[in-house]
Structure 1
Amino acid sequence: MSSHADYRTAASAATKGELIVLGIETSCDETAAAVVRLGRDGRSEVLSSVVHSQTEDHAPFGGVVPEIAARSHVETIAPTVERALADAGVGWDGITGVAATAGPGLVGGVMVGLSFGKAAALARGLPLIAVNHLEGHAVSARLGAEAPYPFLLLLVSGGHCQLLEVRGVGEVTRLGATIDDAAGEAFDKIAKALGLGYPGGPALERLAEGGDPARFELPRALLGRKDMDFSFSGLKTAAFRLVETCETDQDRADLAAAVQAAIARQLTERTERAMADYAQRHDHRLLVVAGGVAANRTIRARLEAAAGRHGFRFTAPPLAFCTDNAAMIAQAGAERLARGERSDIDAVARPRWPLDEAAALAAPSHAYGRKGAKA
C-alpha cells in the first residue's frame, strides 16, 4: 500500500477518535516494540508488547556495554517491530502514528530506535511522536488502568529517582530528585559487590528474602533536611565496606536485607513528605509508583501502606510495564497525538532530557544521577 493510502487510513482512524500507535523503545539494553489502542473515551488497550532482552549479552561484563547494546538494537529492531505488529493483528495499514523514544538514554541505542521510527513514519505517511523515555514511565500506570490526572509520581529506576506532580503529558513539576546516585543504581552496584551478577536489583531482592534487615546499621541520608530530595551515595559506600566483612551466605543475605530496607525507608520518607505537600493543592489524591524499582515487592508494599496512611489511592503499572518497554512509549505518543501534537522529522536523539527542564536548569546537580544517561 502506498504511503498516501496509509496516511488516509490513519487519518480516518484519528477522525473516529481511535488512535492505534506503534511504540519503539531502545534507550538502554532492551529492544522493545508495542502497539497500543487509545479510545475516544481516553481508555487504552495494549494490543501487543514485545521486548528483546540483552541480559545475556551484558551479563559477562556485570553491566550494560553501550557499544554492544547499540549493535544488538540494530540487529533486532526490525524483527521486534514486525512481531509487535503481527501480535497486535493490525498491520502497518492499521497504525495511526509512530512513537519512538528520543531520550534520555544511551545515545547510540536511542538513535537506532528513533531512526527506525522516522523511517517508518516517512515511508507510511504517518505522524511521528518523539517521546521522552521518562514521560513513558510517567504514563505507564495508565496502560489499561484507572490513573486519571493529576497524580503524584515516584519515578524510581536504575538511572533516575524523582518525585513529580503530573498534570498531563508535558505538564510535569519536579518536587524532588536524587542529588547523586539513583536507587536502582545503588541496588545494582551493591548486588555486583555481593557477587550477584547482572541484573543486580532482582537478585538482591531474592537474597534479601532470607536476611535480617536489622543486623547491619546503614547511614541515613540528608538527615535534618525537610525537602524531598534523595541521596544513595553514602548508603552505597557503607554497603561496599560491609561487603568485605561478609564471610557466609547468611552474612550476605542480612546485608542485602538491610540495604533493601534502607532504600525502602528513604523512598517512603521522601514520598510521605511529597504527599503532605501535594495534598495541600489537590483534592484528588493518587500516588503512582513507576520505573524498574517499582517491581520490588518490599518497596511497593511500604509505599502502598504509606499512601493509605495519607489518604492516597495507590497504583503502579503491572510488573511487565515497570521495566523498560514500548507500550509506555506508545501510550505517551498516543496521548500527545490525541492533542494534535506531532514531532518534526528532524527530532534529535538526546542523551539527557529531564522531564521538568526548568527545575533541571535551576538545580543542575539534581537533574541526573551519577549514571547520568537516563536520569
Structure 2
Amino acid sequence: MALVLGIETSCDETGVGLVRDGVLLGDALASSMDEHARFGGVVPEIAARAHLEALPSMVRHAVDHAGVRLADVDVVAVTAGPGLASAVQVGLAAGKAYALSLGVPLYGVHHLAGHAAVDTLEHGPLPERCVALIVSGGHTSLLLLGDLARDPVVHLGDTLDDAAGEAFDKVARLLGLPYPGGPAIDRAALDGDPEAIAFPRPLTGARDDPYAFSFSGLKTAVARWVERHTGPLPVADVAASFQEAVADTLSRKAVAAGRQYACDTLLMVGGVAANSRVRSLTAQRCAAADIRLRVPTPRLCTDNGAMIAAVGDLLARAGRPPSPLDLAMHPTLTLTSALIPPAGPERSP
C-alpha cells in the first residue's frame, strides 16, 4: 500500500501527516496562533511566512515520528484550497517540490474533504451514505456524502454569512476573551448558565431554509445585549448562553437532515466540533434519533496534516488520476469533490 505524505497550510496551522492504508503513522503540527493573537485574528502574510519557516522541520518531525524515510513516500497530497491564498500557495508549492523531487504522484485536495476524511483514521471507513456537519472558523456546511474519493459531494445547506467559528471569535472579542475565541468561550461557559440569556436560534423558523446557517445576527444580538447591560458584565453567562444557541442550532439542523435523508450516521468535523457543548448536545440528540455520531478526537478536529494525508490515501486506493504539477490554488472553491480539478472557475463556499 502507498505511503501518503499530507501537507496542510490553509490558515495558521502548518500540518504534516503520513498515512498508509487508513492508518496514521505519524504527524507533526506547528501553529502561528500566538503571532496572530495581538491582532485578534489571522494575518495572511504572517501565516504564510510561518508556514515557509515551519514546513521543512514539520516534514522531518512527521517522518521521524512515523519511523520511515522521506524516500519511502509514494504519494504527496496537499491542500490546494480553500483557504488564505498566500498560505495555501506556500503548502502547494512545497507539495509540488516534494512530489517532483521524489518522483511520485501529487494530489491537490480540498481542505474540507480532509476534515471529513480524518475521521476514518480513528473510526474506520465511512458508511456508503451519511450526513456530514462541517463546522470551522471559515465554514459551516451540511453535506450528504457517499464515497468521498469517487462520488460528488451534495450540499444540503451552508452558512449565508459568518461561519460558526468566526462567530465564536467575534463574540469572544466582545467579552474581552483571548483569541482564538472557541476554546476561550468553551472555558468561560463552564461557570455560566446557558439559560441566563435567550439569544436567538438563527434560521430555525417554520419558513426558513431548514439546512442553511446564519450566525451574523446571533453575533449582533450578543453585541446589543452587551451594549445595553449595566454593571459588571456576566461573561460566563453570556458565553454559556451564546454557546448554547450555536450548539442548539447546529445539532437541531444536523439531526433533522439525518432523519430526512434516512442516514443512520452523522459525521461532525472541523474546529468547532471540538467544542464540549456542541459535542454533548449533538450526541444527546443523535442518541434520541437513533443516529450514530462520529466525531474525531479534538486534536484532529482542528486543521492538521493527517487529514490531508487521509484524503490522499483514499484517492490513491481508489485509483484516482493524480493532479498535474501546474495545478493552481483555489482559495474560495466550494466542496463538490475531494480532488480539486486542474482548471475551472472558482466557486465561493
Q: Same fold (TM over 0.5)?
A: yes
Is 1:166 matched with 2:145?
yes
Q: Distance in 2 between matches of 1:269 and 1:157?
A: 17
**SS state at 2:143 partner:** strand
Of 277, 280, 284, the match for 2:260: 277
- Counterparts of 1:144-293 in structure 2 under 5 Å? 144-149=122-127, 150-170=129-149, 171=151, 172-222=153-203, 223-224=205-206, 225=208, 227-244=210-227, 245=229, 247-248=231-232, 251-279=234-262, 282=263, 285-293=264-272
**SS state at 1:306 partner:** helix
Output one character per residue of 1:161-206: Cα deviation in whole Å (capped at 9) or x when no partner: 1111111225211111111111111111100111112111100110
Q: Is the 8 A contact 1:162 1:174 kept in 2?
A: yes
Match of 1:50 in 2: 28
Of 306, 315, 323, the match for 2:302: 323
Paired amino acid for 1:294: A
Q: Distance in 2 between matches of 1:70 and 1:247?
A: 42
Paired amino acid for 1:164: L
Q: Which runs of 4+ in 1 moved over 4 A?
A: none
- Counterparts of 1:296-307 in structure 2 under 5 Å? 296-307=275-286
| TM-score normalized by the length of structure 1 | 0.86
Q: Is the 8 A contact 1:160 1:183 kept in 2?
A: yes
Post-superposition offset of 1:226: 5.1
Post-superposition offset of 1:148: 2.3
Of 72, 75, 100, the match for 2:78: 100
**Identity value in percent:** 45
Output one character per residue of 1:244-272: Cα deviation in whole Å (capped at 9) or x when no partner: 326436x1111001000000111122112
Residues 114 and 226 of structure 1, relative CA distance in 2, 3 Å threshold = closer
Q: Distance in 2 between matches of 1:246 and 1:210?
A: 20
Match of 2:15 in 1: 32
Q: Distance in 2 between matches of 1:270 and 1:161?
A: 12
Q: Distance in 2 between matches of 1:35 and 1:151?
A: 26
Paired amino acid for 1:348: A
Count of residue pairs the alignment pairs up: 333
| TM-score normalized by the length of structure 2 | 0.92
- The RMSD of aligned alpha carbons is 1.4
Q: Distance in 2 between matches of 1:335 and 1:356?
A: 16
Q: Distance in 2 between matches of 1:99 and 1:216?
A: 46
Paired amino acid for 1:94: D
Match of 1:109 in 2: 87
Match of 2:344 in 1: none
**SS state at 2:200 partner:** coil
Match of 2:55 in 1: 77
Residues 70 and 163 of structure 1, relative CA distance in 2, 3 Å threshold = same
Q: Distance in 2 between matches of 1:209 and 1:216?
A: 15
Q: Is the 8 A contact 1:128 1:343 kept in 2?
A: yes
Match of 1:5 in 2: none
Output one character per residue of 1:216-269: Cα deviation in whole Å (capped at 9) or x when no partner: 1212322222521111111000101222326436x1111001000000111122
Q: Distance in 1 between matches of 2:126 and 2:48?
A: 36
Q: Is the 8 A contact 2:77 2:312 kept in 1?
A: yes
Post-superposition offset of 1:339: 1.7
**SS state at 2:237 partner:** helix
Is 1:350 matched with 2:330?
yes
Match of 1:335 in 2: 314
Output one character per residue of 1:63-94: Cα deviation in whole Å (capped at 9) or x when no partner: 10001001111111111111111111111221
Q: Distance in 2 between matches of 1:308 and 1:147?
A: 21
Gaps of 5+ in 1: 1-17, 39-43, 358-366, 369-374
Residues 309 and 28 of structure 1, relative CA distance in 2, 3 Å threshold = same
Q: Distance in 2 between matches of 1:185 and 1:117?
A: 28
Residues 205 and 144 of structure 1, relative CA distance in 2, 3 Å threshold = closer
